Amino acid sequence: MCNNLVLIGFMGSGKSTIGKELSTLLNYNFIDSDCFIEKKEGRKISEIFQTNGEEYFRNLEKEFIQSHRQNSYSIIATGGGMPIYNDITQMGYIIYLKADFNTIQKRIKDFHTRPLFADLNKAYALFLQRQKIYEKTCNLVIDANNPLQKILQDIMLQIKTN
Ligand code: S3P
């Protein structure tokens, strides 16, 4: 049985922070696709983009999906583009952390670690484009503008009743 929880959403929506907390609450493994890729490649995402380009990074994301398909009892925090370029529906129960662009902007302090957030106008256009895809892909939408504890509470309540 596939019983993973997969967190999706735009950059800065809180996937990693919430994923870690949830994994403690549920006693699940925590896997962050960006961290996994950085470890495997031995370099930062920004360096991968700079040296090899976005397409190369997207292939690394595909490899990540292949190698984590069979996981169980895991919380998987995905990179913001993973569900845009891939069918991730087999990976588990998909939770979309939906945050406004204002919230996201406030949360993202270091633009250098996120190559696709370097230009604010382009980031906003990407945000608008992606929202529909996140919504179509997910099993559950959670308001990620709320404080951390409220977000966790909402997720716990929903997954218990689903
Ligand atoms: C990306 C989001 C980033 C990272 C990469 C590309 C995207 O992850 O995977 O910079 O396409 O939205 P976060 O969503 O964790 O910032």
CA distance linking residue 53 with residue 46, whole number of Å: 9
Say what angle helices 33-41 and 54-68 make with each other, to 10 degrees. Answer: 110
Angle of helix 45-52 versus helix 33-41 axis, rounded to 10: 60
- What H or E segment, with its residue span, contains residue 133? helix 120-137
- Is 109's pLDDT higher than 80? no
How high is the pLDDT of residue 1? 40
- Output the pLDDT for position 161: 67
Arithmetic mean of pLDDT, 40-63: 97
**CA 11 to centroid of ligand 1, rounded, Å:** 6
pLDDT surpassing 60 at residue 104: yes
Mutate to test the pocket of ligand 1, among 18, 114, 117, 137 (most ligand atoms within 8 A of CB): 114
- Indicate the pTM of the whole model: 0.96
The whole-angstrom separation of Cα 29 and Cα 74 is 5
Which residues sit with their C-beta closer than 6 Å to ligand 1?
11, 15, 34, 45, 79-81, 114-116
Over range 34-54, report the average pLDDT.
Answer: 97
pLDDT of amino acid 79: 97
How far apart are alpha carbons 68 and 78 in whole angstroms? 12
Q: What's the whole-number average pLDDT of the chain?
A: 94
Strands 29-32 and 93-98, sheet pairing: unpaired
Residue 32 Cα to chain centre, angstroms: 8
Average pLDDT for residues 63-84, to the nearest whole number? 93
- Give, in degrees to the nearest 5, the angle at Cα 115 between 43 and 54: 75
**Amino acid making up residue 34:** D
Which residue lies with its CA nearest to atom 9 of ligand 1?
Answer: 79
CB 62 within 8 A of CB 93: no
For the cut 80, the answer to whether the pLDDT of residue 21 exceeds it is yes
Q: Which atom of ligand 1 is nearest to the CA of 77?
A: 15
